Structure formats: structure tokens, C-alpha cells
């Protein structure tokens, strides 16, 4: 077992109340990390009260993961663990998180703007937070593991790696994936992709409508789509829902960089950025964003800032 993980386990043992948080606008990696860790703690430690906090994801918490938990305790000492995020202001449940008696962070995002935690394990070389957790959990020979832990971790790795496809996916990602399939005794298509990985007809229609709105600058290879709140309403999606579709367009060869921008609060836009090879994180960081070299995001931008971000990306 890794040294860092041994320290984390010591803290888990110490506290009865444990809150597990992750980033806002959850995805499979964030939720997979949360629910796998909760399941694993309940499986291996007696008498723990573990809460996975945050808003439910429209689809994933309905079809694949349990519902997120409401915290029903007050005036109790508790441990808070954040997964797939390393900045307080990006945590879904920031206020509660900050009240914890001890904090732990396990993440794979760029660590340069990370806040400080009691224990921090950030490895930005890993494709998913679930890969880090899986490395930890699979190395704990004396601990139990079950079908759900494996399935949730696999889903997270699959989600962030574009189904074992992106550049940061390596031999270890496949090894871990194979071990999870073996130990969890599930089928990746029947028990995962077929449940949450397929596109509904409605979603596909939205994707097509968004596609028609994409502006593509041939010279730089930058493509983008911007939706204000009334356009989002017309499309029938939330800001998060529209930005999430970026993955579909990231497969288009000509789009070297793609930007999705959606108005989530009056006058404020949230952007997602995907790149095929150019490092975009340094540019995005200038606007207060974060993430990974080829996949990152930024929020609280005015429309002028969105436009200036796009023109900076064109210069790369
Ligand atoms: Mn992630």
C-alpha cells in the first residue's frame, strides 16, 4: 500500500463522520471517485457515516450511481475528502467542506493553484482521479473490494479517458481497467456503456442544433459555440448540459481547439476548452481557469472575456 494512502486510511479510521465532496458540474470521474470511496469505506470500516455531497447529475445519479446524500448531522467532528478537485471554490459543497476538522484532497488536475489540505495527493499525470483511487485500493491487499467499487472506478476512468482513448491514457490505465473488470466481474458494455454511455435521441438532436451554431476559424483550427441563457432555453439544456456536448465535437479532425461557452448566471459565462495537441492550460489560467493540458475550463467570464480568450487561443 502506498505511503500516502496509509496516512489517508489512518484518518478515515479516526473519524466517525466522513463527507466526500467533488467538483461542481459533476462528471463520471467525479461521481465514480465519490461513490467508489464511500462504498469502499463502508465495506472496510465499521460504524462510519459517510456522505457523498453535491447536486445530483441529471442522468448519472438516476441510472448508474445512487443519489447524492443530504447531510443530517450538526455539531459533529468530521473528516472531509475532496476528489477530482483541488480548489475550494470549485467544490460542490464548499461551505460545508471548509467546516471540516480535517481535510484530504485526492486529485489529478493541475496543482499550481491548489489550496492547502491536511493531506494532499495530486498527480496530474493520471488520466482520472478514479485511476489514482484504483491504484490505491487495488494495492490494499488486506482490504475488501466489491462489484460496485470496481464498476464505479471503471466508469470514472472510462469517462475521463474518452473510453480509454486520449493521449494521457497509458499501459497502467489499461492494466487498472482490466483488474477492475476482473475483480468486479461485470461487463463494460452491458453494465456500463449501455446504461449511461449511449446518446438519447433528444440529446443527439441538441448536439445537431449546437453543431449548426459552431463558428470555425479555418486558419487557426479554433472552433467555438456560445449560448446565452435564452439560447440555452431554446435548446432545452442547462449551461452544464451544453458545455458537456463538447466531447462530441472534439472528435472532429479539423477542430484543433474547441471552446464551449454558456451563460450560467446573468452576464456570466462558463467555458470548456478541448485541444488535440496544443497546450491550452496556460492561456486558460490567465482567465482564472484550471484543469489539464488538453482539457480545461474557466467560469465567471463576461462575454468580452470569452471573446478575448477565444482570440488568444487562435494565436497559439
Ligand atoms: Mn477527473
Tens digit of each residue's pLDDT (9 = 90 or more) over 204-243? 999 999 999 999 999 999 999 999 999 999 999 999 999 9
Judging by DSSP bridges, how do beta strands 268-275 and 257-265 pair with one another?
Answer: antiparallel
Using the mean position of ligand 1's atoms as its centre, give its distance from the Cα of residue 268 in Å. 24
Residues with Cβ–ion distance below 5 A, ligand 1: 29, 84, 129, 160
3-state secondary structure 251-282: CCCCCCEEEEEEEEECCEEEEEEEECCCCCHH
> Cβ contacts of residue 268 below 8 Å, gap of 6+?
299, 300, 301, 302
Q: Which three cell numbers stand for residue 188?
A: 463494460
The pLDDT of residue 106 is: 98
Q: Kindly report, residue by residue over 136-183, the tens digit of the pLDDT.
A: 999 998 899 999 999 999 999 999 999 999 988 999 999 999 999 999
| pLDDT mean across residues, the chain | 96
Q: 3.90.1640.10, 3.10.20.30, 1.20.58.1030, 3.40.50.800: which CATH number matches 3-196?
A: 3.90.1640.10
Using the mean position of ligand 1's atoms as its centre, give its distance from the Cα of residue 131 in Å. 9
pTM of the model: 0.92
Task: Delimit the domains of the chain by residue range.
Answer: 3-196, 201-315
Using the mean position of ligand 1's atoms as its centre, give its distance from the Cα of residue 290 in Å. 12
Using the mean position of ligand 1's atoms as its centre, give its distance from the Cα of residue 1 in Å. 22
How far does Cα 314 stand from its chain's mean position? 26
Using the mean position of ligand 1's atoms as its centre, give its distance from the Cα of residue 22 in Å. 10
Using the mean position of ligand 1's atoms as its centre, give its distance from the Cα of residue 135 in Å. 15
Per cent of the chain over pLDDT 70 is: 100
- Would you say 103 and 117 are in contact if contact means Cβ atoms under 8 Å apart? yes
3-state class (DSSP) for residue 272 = strand
Using the mean position of ligand 1's atoms as its centre, give its distance from the Cα of residue 24 in Å. 12
Using the mean position of ligand 1's atoms as its centre, give its distance from the Cα of residue 307 in Å. 26
Classify 201-315 by CATH class.
alpha beta
Using the mean position of ligand 1's atoms as its centre, give its distance from the Cα of residue 121 in Å. 14
Using the mean position of ligand 1's atoms as its centre, give its distance from the Cα of residue 302 in Å. 26
Average confidence (pLDDT) over 69-81: 96
Amino acid at each position: 500500500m502506498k505511503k500516502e494512502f496509509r496516512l489517508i486510511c489512518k484518518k478515515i479510521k479516526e473519524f466517525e463522520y466522513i463527507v466526500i465532496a467533488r467538483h461542481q458540474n459533476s462528471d463520471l470521474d467525479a461521481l465514480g471517485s465519490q461513490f467508489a470511496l464511500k462504498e469502499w469505506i463502508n465495506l472496510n470500516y465499521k460504524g462510519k457515516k459517510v456522505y457523498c455531497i453535491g447536486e445530483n447529475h441529471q442522468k448519472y445519479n438516476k441510472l448508474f450511481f445512487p443519489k447524492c446524500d443530504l447531510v443530517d448531522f450538526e455539531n459533529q467532528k468530521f473528516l472531509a475528502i475532496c476528489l477530482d478537485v483541488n480548489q475550494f471554490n470549485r467544490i460542490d459543497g464548499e461551505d460545508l467542506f471548509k467546516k471540516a476538522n480535517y481535510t484530504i484532497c485526492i486529485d489529478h488536475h493541475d496543482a499550481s493553484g491548489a489550496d492547502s489540505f491536511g493531506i494532499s495527493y495530486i498527480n496530474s499525470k493520471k488520466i482520472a482521479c478514479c485511476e489514482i483511487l484504483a491504484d490505491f485500493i487495488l494495492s490494499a491487499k488486506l482490504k475488501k473490494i466489491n462489484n460496485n467499487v470496481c464498476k464505479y472506478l471503471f466508469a470514472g476512468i472510462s469517462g475521463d479517458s474518452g473510453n480509454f482513448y486520449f493521449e494521457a491514457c497509458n499501459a497502467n490505465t489499461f492494466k487498472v481497467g482490466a483488474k477492475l473488470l476482473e475483480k468486479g466481474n461485470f461487463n463494460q458494455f452491458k453494465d456500463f456503456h449501455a446504461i449511461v454511455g449511449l446518446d438519447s435521441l433528444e440529446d443527439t438532436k441538441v448536439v445537431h442544433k449546437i453543431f449548426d451554431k459552431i463558428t470555425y476559424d479555418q486558419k487557426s483550427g479554433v472552433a467555438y459555440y456560445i449560448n446565452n441563457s435564452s439560447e440555452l432555453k431554446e435548446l432545452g439544456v442547462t449551461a452544464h448540459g451544453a458545455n458537456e456536448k463538447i466531447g462530441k465535437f472534439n472528435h472532429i479532425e479539423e477542430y484543433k481547439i474547441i471552446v464551449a461557452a454558456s451563460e450560467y448566471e446573468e452576464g456570466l459565462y462558463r467555458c470548456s476548452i478541448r485541444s488535440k495537441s496544443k497546450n491550452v492550460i496556460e492561456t486558460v489560467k490567465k482567465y482564472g481557469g484550471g484543469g489539464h493540458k488538453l482539457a480545461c475550463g474557466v467560469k465567471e467570464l463576461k462575454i468580452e472575456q470569452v471573446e478575448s480568450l477565444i482570440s488568444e487561443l487562435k494565436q497559439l
